[in-house]
Chain A
Amino acid sequence: MRMLGVVVVIFIAAPLLIVVPMSFSSARSLQFPPPGYWLGYYQAYFTDLTWLRPTWNSIVIATATMVLTMVLVVPATFALVRHRFAGKSIADLMMLMPLAVPHIVMAVGYYSFLGEYRLVHTHIGVVLAHTCLSVPIAFLVLSANLKGFDRTLERAAQSLGASPIKTFIHVTLPILRPGLVISALFAFVQSFDETVVAIFISGRNAETLPRKMFDSIRQEADPVIAVISTLLFAAVLLALLAPAGWKGIRSRLRARTPPTAITTGR
């Protein structure tokens, strides 16, 4: 069992061990092991508009996708988890449908559908398509959170004088915050990461980073790809470690306050 674990870990970590050194490589194309090391490709990435524009596109599209997804998913999840209505099981199924359909099939569909409304090759078109793909993921995360939510907390809040709206703001929302943050993050990452649909409909105008990388690796195997991969990995690592680090800082601050002075904890 332990051996198997080690093998799995190596398998997961291996791409990183290859990509990170390659980003510092001095070779003219992707090559492993690198013949020498320099930072030239980092400079190339941060100065080359043909790379920076897709990056910016991806950030804009992923952010818009995340916002639109949450606007749709939060009310939908409350309705589907907390209420019974006719056609509920069908609605439940439709929410998850995009997970079951292959991306390539979705991509062809979006291409012809968005074409009719002249939305192919636009940011809006990509955002709409990505939102469809993000909704089921965000819904799954949030509904699991909402199902575990103890509704007597809301009753308690109301008995204590909170109107339904105040109850939502002061009790429901803060307690669900971790679930909301995670589902929003998943929506963002899904869009940022998505390649197939982006290749079909993003075009030159709304070209996203994964699409640009895909084009680039086909044509020239530009080592900037390794740079981007490394930067993305660093960003994810930072995002993962940040909450733990923040907790550490907070508990240290709390420990320093004399106990009698603690009234609110935060």
Chain B
Amino acid sequence: MTSYLQIDGVTKKFGDFTALEKVDLSVRKGEFVTFLGPSGSGKTTTLMIIAGFEKATHGDVLIEGRSISRLAPHERNIGIVFQNYALFPHKTAAENVYFPLQMRSIARSAGLRKAQEMLSLVGLEGMGGRYPKELSGGQQQRVALARALVFEPSLLLLDEPLGALDKNLREQMQIEIKRIQRTLGVTTIFVTHDQSEAMSMSDRIVVFEKGRIEQAATPLDIYHRPATRFVAGFVGESNLVPAEIKDAGGVAESAALGACDFEPAEPVSPGDNVTLLIRPEHIRLSRKPIEGRKNVSMHVDTIVNYGDNSLVIGRVGDLQMRVRVLGADVVIIKEGEDCCVSWLPESVYAIPAA
């Protein structure tokens, strides 16, 4: 894999506090990578180091093999869309988009023409004359995107750009950003704490926690084969069960579930401590045990109805379990009753204990 953007052992300290610890990452040309993590996990700090607004205490950042650590932000040729868009209030949409071209000494008439083309690409044809305050949140977002892309940056950074938008608009913008990114083929880093956003948009997700990268993998791998307990808990809903390996072929034993078959993705040996991950949507609810599945009996405490699906929360021994049930399945069971929950061995993933 040839790397386009390379982050090499980057550490960032603020006084005694270590915000980033030896972060390594390599990004391919044209890739859409999402930095996902809770606030304070280091994802934004990493972004600011790439942009040049923060200086790494140790380590280096390279684009196409050349270090950019010594370059000032304005010399880096990196487009950024900020959380609050940061449009210049005294300039029209077209002038905002023209600004980076103006800074590159491109003549006003040619520059404004290019700005208009860019505005058309983001779906703001004919809106160039408006001032930012005359535009809606979604439109301002598009202007900010056009402005960050018009000078053909070597990298596009998006810092939680959808946070301020309402749900419908956010979904629309997710699709829109993805479309524009594919059209231009620009290497993109997207920062968010919203896991569904990360899932739907990314080629690869990098999960940050406490200044470290927990895992960098495709969305499906992050979801189905999380590297750590934290990733499994942070991305999606999960049932996490501490267990011990009994058989390297795929048997683990836990206090609550007893012996439990699974399909090992990585080699394990008997005696290893692992955490078993069973996603709530992979569990089935029934009155009687189902042949060919691992069955346990659960006492149902709470049922939360979401319309198209329901969340059933219950107890297996001391273990709390969450089960996602689609539509009508939930009709068979009531709160306070006992029922049978079951899953297939391939729905169980064993996370090695770090």
- Contact residues of A with B, CB < 8 Å? 150, 152-153, 155-164, 166-167, 170-171, 174-175, 259-260, 262-266
B246 interface residue per 8 A CB criterion: no
B234 interface residue per 8 A CB criterion: no
B262 interface residue per 8 A CB criterion: no
Can you report 10 A-B residue pairs in the complex whose CB atoms are below 8 A from each other?
A152-B82, A155-B73, A156-B86, A159-B74, A159-B78, A159-B148, A161-B77, A171-B88, A175-B89, A264-B95
Give the 8 A-B CB pairs with smallest separation, nearest first: A262-B129, A156-B86, A161-B103, A160-B100, A265-B92, A158-B73, A159-B80, A152-B86
B86 pairs with A170, CB closer than 8 A: no
Q: Bound complex: CA of A161 vs CA of B89, how far in Å?
A: 18
In the complex, what residues of B have CB within 8 A of residue A259's CB?
Answer: 126, 129
User: Nearest CB to that of B157 among chain A residues?
Assistant: A159
B88 pairs with A175, CB closer than 8 A: yes
In the complex, what residues of A have CB within 8 A of residue B94's CB?
Answer: 263-264
- Contact residues of B with A, CB < 8 Å? 51, 53, 72-74, 76-80, 82, 84, 86-90, 92, 94-95, 99-100, 102-104, 112, 116, 126, 128-131, 147-148, 151
Given A153-B88, A259-B126, A265-B131, 7 new contacts (CB under 8 A) = A161-B151, A162-B99, A163-B74, A260-B126, A262-B129, A263-B129, A265-B92
In the complex, what residues of A have CB within 8 A of residue B131's CB?
Answer: 265
User: Nearest CB to that of B128 among chain A residues?
Assistant: A263
Q: Bound complex: CA of A248 vs CA of B89, how far in Å?
A: 20
Q: Bound complex: CA of A262 vs CA of B92, how far in Å?
A: 10
Q: Bound complex: CA of A146 vs CA of B83, how far in Å?
A: 21
Q: Bound complex: CA of A157 vs CA of B95, how far in Å?
A: 13
A156 pairs with B82, CB closer than 8 A: yes
Q: Bound complex: CA of A174 vs CA of B53, how far in Å?
A: 23
Q: Closest CB-CB distance, A107 to chain B, in whole Å?
A: 42
Q: Closest CB-CB distance, A143 to chain B, in whole Å?
A: 20
Give the residue among B92, B104, B129 with the most A Cβ atoms within 10 A: B129
Given A152-B82, A153-B86, A160–B151 Cβ distance below 8 Å?
A: yes
Given A160-B147, A162-B74, A265-B129, A155–B53 Cβ distance below 8 Å?
A: yes
Q: Closest CB-CB distance, A37 to chain B, in whole Å?
A: 48
Q: Bound complex: CA of A206 vs CA of B112, how far in Å?
A: 53
User: Nearest CB to that of A167 among chain B residues?
Assistant: B74
Q: Bound complex: CA of A9 vs CA of B95, how far in Å?
A: 45
A159 pairs with B88, CB closer than 8 A: no
In the complex, what residues of A have CB within 8 A of residue B74's CB?
Answer: 158-164, 166-167
- Chain B binding site: helix, strand, loop or mixed by DSSP? loop
Q: Closest CB-CB distance, B89 to chain A, in whole Å?
A: 6
Q: Bound complex: CA of A157 vs CA of B51, how far in Å?
A: 12
From B73, B90, B128, B130, give the contact of A159 (CB < 8 A). Answer: B73
Q: Closest CB-CB distance, B106 to chain A, in whole Å?
A: 11
Q: Bound complex: CA of A187 vs CA of B255, how far in Å?
A: 79
Q: Closest CB-CB distance, A145 to chain B, in whole Å?
A: 13
Give the residue among A161, A163, A260 with the most B Cβ atoms within 10 A: A161
In the complex, what residues of A have CB within 8 A of residue B89's CB?
Answer: 175
Q: Bound complex: CA of A196 vs CA of B104, how far in Å?
A: 54
Q: Closest CB-CB distance, B354 to chain A, in whole Å?
A: 37
User: Nearest CB to that of B82 among chain A residues?
Assistant: A152
Q: Bound complex: CA of A265 vs CA of B89, how far in Å?
A: 13
B103 pairs with A166, CB closer than 8 A: yes
Q: Bound complex: CA of A152 vs CA of B104, how far in Å?
A: 21
Q: Closest CB-CB distance, A160 to chain B, in whole Å?
A: 4
B51 pairs with A159, CB closer than 8 A: yes
B103 pairs with A162, CB closer than 8 A: yes
Q: Bound complex: CA of A259 vs CA of B130, how far in Å?
A: 10
A160 pairs with B99, CB closer than 8 A: yes
In the complex, what residues of A have CB within 8 A of residue B95's CB?
Answer: 264-265
In the complex, what residues of B have CB within 8 A of residue A152's CB?
Answer: 82, 84, 86
Q: Closest CB-CB distance, A184 to chain B, in whole Å?
A: 18
Q: Closest CB-CB distance, A188 to chain B, in whole Å?
A: 24
Q: Bound complex: CA of A262 vs CA of B77, how far in Å?
A: 29
A157 pairs with B126, CB closer than 8 A: no
B79 pairs with A262, CB closer than 8 A: no
In the complex, what residues of A have CB within 8 A of residue B129's CB?
Answer: 259, 262-265
Q: Bound complex: CA of A13 vs CA of B345, how far in Å?
A: 88
Q: Bound complex: CA of A259 vs CA of B100, how far in Å?
A: 25
Q: Bound complex: CA of A10 vs CA of B256, how far in Å?
A: 84
In the complex, what residues of B have CB within 8 A of residue A163's CB?
Answer: 72, 74
Q: Bound complex: CA of A175 vs CA of B87, how far in Å?
A: 12
Q: Closest CB-CB distance, A83 to chain B, in whole Å?
A: 17
Q: Closest CB-CB distance, B135 to chain A, in whole Å?
A: 12
A155 pairs with B82, CB closer than 8 A: yes
Q: Bound complex: CA of A145 vs CA of B284, how far in Å?
A: 61
Q: Bound complex: CA of A209 vs CA of B99, how far in Å?
A: 47
Q: Bound complex: CA of A158 vs CA of B80, how far in Å?
A: 10
Q: Bound complex: CA of A170 vs CA of B82, how far in Å?
A: 19
Q: Bound complex: CA of A109 vs CA of B337, how far in Å?
A: 90
Give the residue among A159, A164, A174 with the most B Cβ atoms within 10 A: A159
In the complex, what residues of B have CB within 8 A of residue A157's CB?
Answer: 88, 99
